[in-house]
Amino acid sequence: MCRNIKTLHNFSPPATAEEIKASSLQFVRKLSGFSKPSKVNEEAFECAVEKVSQVVLELLASLDTQTPPRDRAVEAAKARARSAKRFPPVVLNPVRS
């Protein structure tokens, strides 16, 4: 449920509003237990997503670091390599000679 929650600080280019919103949405989903709230709870749910997004924007703007920004492409390649190692491809019908 939380696969869209990822590190957003110290990347080049910086996190986009869409990435922040997606992470905020996943966070609120996890806390509330709803993947899609009922009509009765929809307003409170959306309000929570907006407030979390605002707090994340403030947090990211206030953080300071001495390390150089990480490259998104490099980090994505590392994540794919970890995933491939953890979940190797499954061969269903090996070809026999």
**pLDDT given for residue 2 in this prediction:** 57
Rounded to two decimals, what is the model's pTM? 0.75
**pLDDT given for residue 24 in this prediction:** 94
Three-class secondary structure assignment of the chain: CCCCCCCCCCEECCCCHHHHHHHHHHHHHHHHCCCCCCHHHHHHHHHHHHHHHHHHHHHHHHCCCCCCCEEHHHHHHHHHHHHHHHCCCCCCCCCCC
**pLDDT given for residue 97 in this prediction:** 61
pLDDT, tens digit, 9 for 90 and up, residues 56-91: 999 999 999 999 999 988 988 998 999 899 898 887
